[in-house]
Amino acid sequence: MLMNLLEPSAGQASVLGGDCRTLTGDGFRRIGYVAEDQEQPDWMTVGQLLDYCRPFYPTWDAALATEMITRFALPLDRKLKHLSRGMGMKAVLTSSLAYRPELIVLDEPFGALDPLVRDEFVESLIERAPETTILISSHDLAEIETFATHIGFMEQGRLIFAEELESLAARVREVEVTFAGSAPELAPDWPQTWLNPQLSGPVLRFVDTRFIAQDVAACFPAAHRIDARPLTLRDMFLALAKANRAAKS
């Protein structure tokens, strides 16, 4: 929908300062787009693909294209249909970055790529970061966490939150409260920012999405010990998704 390939049923989105539903050829020249299931002219060789794409983009940088061909060891005389999954993604990425787009949109780009190809793929993106905005839609949270600066969480078509990864990591903690005896019953006014509480003997665990150590300590004056640890992006996603679904049930 952001690329104006599908018509949205509701809502709105802005791409390059304009309504995504009005995006046309001039806008596409400023965008690099790579999707997991993107169709390619398989009968073309890698060289033919790059030669075909070049006239569409006035900003095509031949030196950059050559650099990426060398880095990725792209076989220019081999047909796209004969390339491995990883090599095919390298060819598509080269054709999408060689004109130095202002915006790069990637839809599930890491699927079925081996670790080495992923590293090369990500390295090429990071090198473009100073001159472009990179938007990645992906379920591969471990990969995203290594280089993303901002995170947005969508569920069932709704944007739940969007913020800097550093800020998100700082405010979300898994809290473990240990009591000398059995843990007390959960209070009816349990804060909404405390998710997925679990009682196990003398231990109470929950995810705090607005963690402030003093506030947690004030709520449990009888606690023997309070520990808080940061979560991976995957663990944050699971906690938020479970809480959202529980709230709707």
pLDDT in tens, 55-71: 999 999 999 999 989 98
Tell me which of 120 and 134 has the higher pLDDT: 134
128 pLDDT more than 90: no
Alpha-carbon torsion 234, 239, 244, 245, what sign?
A: positive
- Identify the pLDDT of residue 38: 80
Burial degree of 19 (CB within 10 A; 0-12, 13-18, 19+)? exposed
Quote the pTM value.
0.81
Tokens of 186: 């959960």
Chain segment 100-113, per-residue pLDDT in tens: 999 999 988 877 67
Contact by Cβ (8 Å): 99, 32: yes
Mean per-residue pLDDT for 78-82? Answer: 95
pLDDT band at 249 (very low <50, low <70, confident <90, very high): low
- Identify the pLDDT of residue 130: 85
- Identify the pLDDT of residue 66: 95
Chain segment 200-224, per-residue pLDDT in tens: 889 999 999 889 889 889 888 889 9
**pLDDT above 90 as % of the chain:** 39
- Identify the pLDDT of residue 112: 64
Tokens of 81: 């249909």
Mean per-residue pLDDT for 24-38? Answer: 88
Cβ atoms within 10 Å of 246's Cβ, excluding its own: 10
Cα 124–chain centre separation: 16
